[in-house]
Amino acid sequence: MSQFHVYANTDPASRREVPCWLNVQSDLIGIAESRVVVPLIAPAQAGPLLGRLMPLLSVGGKPMVMDTAQITNVPLQMLGKQVADLSDDRLHIIDALDFLTHGI
């Protein structure tokens, strides 16, 4: 499981609202049972976008919103197949996390 990779949500109860997860946990931290993730949601579910906090990202050619304020950790079982690599969006992702945690 690599940082900035997107994984399908395997949980039937939440998959409709959160179709995939963005892994933001550093590759240096190999906690075996869970990963720190940010939900990626459809733009229609996001309401008014909050710029830096909720960047619009492309996942398989489909726009998705990084719902940064809902950062969480999930068990590895909830992370299905890798569906995208957002490493090229690293600066936008880190900017959103910095804004959430430091207000900068």
CA-CA distances (angstroms) from residue 51 to 14, 83, 87, 92? 25, 24, 19, 10
Domains detected in the chain: 5-102 (2.30.30.110)
**pLDDT single digits (tens) 13-67:** 999 999 999 999 998 887 778 999 999 999 999 887 778 999 999 999 999 999 9
Structural contact between residues 86 and 63, judged by C-beta atoms closer than 8 angstroms: no
Question: Which tens digit of pLDDT belongs to each residue from 76-98?
Answer: 999 999 999 999 999 999 999 99
The pLDDT score that the predictor gives to residue 40 is: 98
- The DSSP annotation for the chain comes to --TTEEEEE--TTTTTT--EEEE-S-TT---SSEEEEEEEE-HHHH-S--GGGS-EEEETTEEEEE-GGG-EEEEGGGEEEEEEE-GGGHHHHHHHHHHHHH--
